[in-house]
């Protein structure tokens, strides 16, 4: 059996991402699995709270660099130019960013705007001949995602979704354990994802911009997690919604949804998505030979957990730093993460979420093709 480290190394955790976390100069010195060092030159679109977090994390990237910005707020552009040394010619707004087509300083656009804007922005990115990195949820339904995948295919550019957990070392270790049979046959997954949302006027509580409520924003972690933890695609969905505050959570904006997924092997998942409970960030996976419990499981970290063998002890990393270095290696070196995160994968999550909303609406079990 492979050692944990060599497995992680093969699967996509960059030497630098880990060595930084371990405080070593280079734990994988001599590693030849990274064939070239081409830097991914990224323009960030949407300079809000998560865009800012990504940008700060990218300061320590070795393969990815911020070279441009796209924003509707001139004062933010000026501040970012200063902080990230971005020349005027690499600054765009939402009206003129198609001109990025002729800018060799930008290889990819990272779309970090409200959910309902992702589709058009990714399609415009593709038509400008640039790779698209898109925040979750990739779109607000599967149909949008399919159009996005098609546009990126036609333009021959990559479409990657910002699923940072797919690179997180403890998560990668759990997926390795499951893949190598250390948990036996997987029987059950529980994913609980939620937080108490504040300001009632934010875009997350506006259906037009958010596409839904908690499920779109945070419940998606349980949806996506159920797929990489169980290692199968669900074939049926049931779901129930509860709403305690219909003023804050208007029509089409879900506060709390419980949903269940059934998998071809007979494994089942029981999940909860909410905007009205604190400290809800827990994954539990049960197999015939073992279990994994992670809490927190998808927050910014440190991710903590234990298995039937004891605590998870993989290195603590800055998720977004690792993600961007690894995405550069995906785009330039053909490297792939242990759990894929391209446009087709983002689409699969939205297909499940469409089915969850349908199950809530009809009260019926929804079969997935
Ligand atoms: P935010 O409100 O802090 O930032 C959104 C940005 O989009 C702002 O700069 C805003 O000015 C800009 N924007 C452009 N057009 C807009 C419009 N029409 N209405 C409102 N804002 C507009 O939000 P955020 O928390 O940064 O979330 C942005 C995206 O990132 C969302 O899709 C969210 O799901 C995702 N996100 C992902 C993670 C993660 O861990 N992967 C974490 C947080 C957010």
Cβ distance 27 to 196 under 8 Å?
Answer: no
Q: Which of 176, 236, 179 is nearest to 9 (CA)?
A: 176
Six-digit token pair at 20? Answer: 């930084």
Number of H helices, E strands in the chain: 12, 15
Q: How far apart are CA 82 and CA 72, in angstroms?
A: 17
Residue 221 among the catalytic residues: yes
What integer pLDDT is reported at residue 26 of this predicted model? 31
Q: Which of 32, 33, 57 is nearest to 301 (CA)?
A: 57
Residue 364 among the catalytic residues: no
Q: Which of 211, 210, 209, 214 is nearest to 194 (CA)?
A: 214
Q: How far apart are CA 266 and CA 233, in angstroms?
A: 11
Enumerate residues lining ligand 1, CB below 6 A.
Answer: 46-51, 72, 112-115, 117, 135-136, 162, 164, 203, 209, 217
> 181: helix, coil or strand?
coil
Q: Does residue 330 surpass a pLDDT of 70?
A: yes
Q: What is the pLDDT of residues 231-256, one digit of tens each?
A: 999 999 999 999 999 999 999 999 99
Cβ distance 115 to 209 under 8 Å?
Answer: yes
Is 3.30.110.30 the CATH number for 184-313+341-367? no
Six-digit token pair at 54? Answer: 């990504």
CA terminus-to-terminus distance, the chain? 36
Closest ligand 1 atom number to CA of residue 319:
40
Query: Which residue owns the Cα nearest ligand 1 atom 2?
Result: 48
Q: Does residue 366 surpass a pLDDT of 50?
A: yes
Six-digit token pair at 316? Answer: 């603590």
What integer pLDDT is reported at residue 37 of this predicted model? 82
Closest ligand 1 atom number to CA of residue 76:
9
Is 3.30.110.40 the CATH number for 4-164? no
Give the mean pLDDT of 326-336. 96
Q: Which residue has the higher pLDDT, 177 or 26?
A: 177
Q: Does residue 152 surpass a pLDDT of 80?
A: yes
Give the mean pLDDT of 132-137. 99
Q: Does residue 8 surpass a pLDDT of 70?
A: no
How many other C-beta atoms lie within 10 A of the C-beta of residue 338?
Answer: 20
Give distance in angstroms: CA of 111 to centre of ligand 1: 9
What integer pLDDT is reported at residue 369 of this predicted model? 78
Q: Does residue 339 surpass a pLDDT of 50?
A: yes
Closest ligand 1 atom number to CA of residue 50:
26
Q: Does residue 16 surpass a pLDDT of 60?
A: no
Q: What is the pLDDT of residues 295-311, one digit of tens each?
A: 999 999 999 999 999 99
Give distance in angstroms: CA of 209 to centre of ligand 1: 10
What confidence tier does 161 reach under pLDDT thresholds 50, 70, 90? Answer: very high
Q: Does residue 137 surpass a pLDDT of 90?
A: yes
Contacts of 137 (CB under 8 A, 6+ apart): 115, 118, 211, 216, 217, 220, 346, 349, 350, 353
Q: Domain residues of the chain, as ranges?
A: 4-164, 184-313+341-367
Give distance in angstroms: CA of 76 to centre of ligand 1: 14
The predicted model scores a pTM of: 0.92
Most ligand 1 atoms within 8 A of CB, residue of 44, 45, 47, 50 to mutate? 50
Q: What is the pLDDT of residues 36-90, one digit of tens each?
A: 689 999 999 999 999 999 999 999 999 999 999 999 999 999 999 999 999 999 9
For a pLDDT cut of 70, what percent of the chain falls above it?
90
Q: Which of 3, 73, 70 is nearest to 43 (CA)?
A: 70
Q: Over the Cα atoms of the chain, what is R_g?
A: 20
Give distance in angstroms: CA of 135 to centre of ligand 1: 9
The whole-angstrom distance between residue 210's C-alpha and the CA centroid of its chain comes to: 16
Give the mean pLDDT of 117-122. 99
What integer pLDDT is reported at residue 316 of this predicted model? 97
- The overall average pLDDT reported for the chain is 92
Give the mean pLDDT of 187-199. 98
What confidence tier does 35 reach under pLDDT thresholds 50, 70, 90? Answer: low
Q: How far apart are CA 54 and CA 318, in angstroms?
A: 10
Q: How far apart are CA 129 and CA 289, in angstroms?
A: 48
Q: Does residue 11 surpass a pLDDT of 90?
A: no
Q: Which of 4, 216, 152 is nearest to 224 (CA)?
A: 216
Q: What is the pLDDT of residues 217-228, one digit of tens each?
A: 999 999 999 999
What confidence tier does 32 reach under pLDDT thresholds 50, 70, 90? Answer: very low
């Amino acid at each position: 059996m492979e050692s944990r480290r060599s497995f992680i190394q093969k699967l996509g955790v960059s030497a630098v991402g880990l060595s930084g976390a371990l405080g070593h100069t280079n734990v994988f010195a001599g590693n030849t699995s990274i064939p070239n060092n081409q830097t991914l030159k990224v323009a960030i679109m949407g300079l809000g709270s998560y865009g800012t977090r990504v940008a700060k994390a990218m300061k320590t990237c070795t393969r990815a660099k911020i070279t441009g910005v796209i924003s509707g707020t001139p004062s933010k552009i000026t501040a970012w130019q200063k902080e990230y040394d971005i020349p005027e010619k690499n600054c765009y707004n939402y009206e003129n960013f198609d001109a990025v087509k002729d800018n060799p300083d930008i290889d990819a656009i990272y779309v970090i705007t409200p959910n309902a804007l992702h589709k058009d922005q990714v399609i415009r990115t593709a038509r400008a001949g640039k790779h698209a990195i898109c925040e979750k949820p990739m779109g607000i339904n599967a149909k949008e995602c399919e159009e996005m995948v098609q546009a990126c295919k036609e333009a021959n550019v990559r479409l990657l979704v910002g699923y940072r957990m797919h690179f997180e070392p403890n998560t990668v270790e759990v997926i390795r354990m499951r893949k190598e049979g250390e948990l036996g046959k997987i029987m059950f997954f529980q994913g609980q994802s939620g937080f108490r949302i504040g300001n009632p006027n934010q875009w997350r509580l506006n259906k037009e911009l958010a596409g839904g409520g908690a499920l779109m924003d945070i419940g998606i972690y349980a949806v996506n997690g159920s797929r990489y933890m169980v290692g199968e695609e669900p074939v049926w969905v049931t779901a129930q919604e509860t709403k305690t505050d219909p003023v804050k959570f208007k029509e089409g904006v879900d506060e709390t949804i419980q949903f269940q997924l059934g998998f071809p092997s007979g494994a089942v998942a029981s999940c909860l998505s909410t905007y009205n409970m604190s400290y809800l960030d827990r994954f539990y996976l049960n197999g015939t030979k073992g279990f994994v419990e992670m809490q927190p499981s998808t927050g910014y970290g440190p991710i903590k957990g234990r298995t039937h063998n004891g605590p998870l002890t993989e290195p603590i990393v800055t998720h977004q730093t690792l993600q961007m270095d690894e995405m550069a290696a995906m785009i330039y070196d053909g490297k792939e993460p242990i759990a894929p995160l391209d446009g087709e994968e983002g689409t699969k999550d939205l297909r499940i979420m469409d089915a969850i909303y349908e199950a809530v609406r009809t009260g019926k079990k929804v079969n997935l093709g």
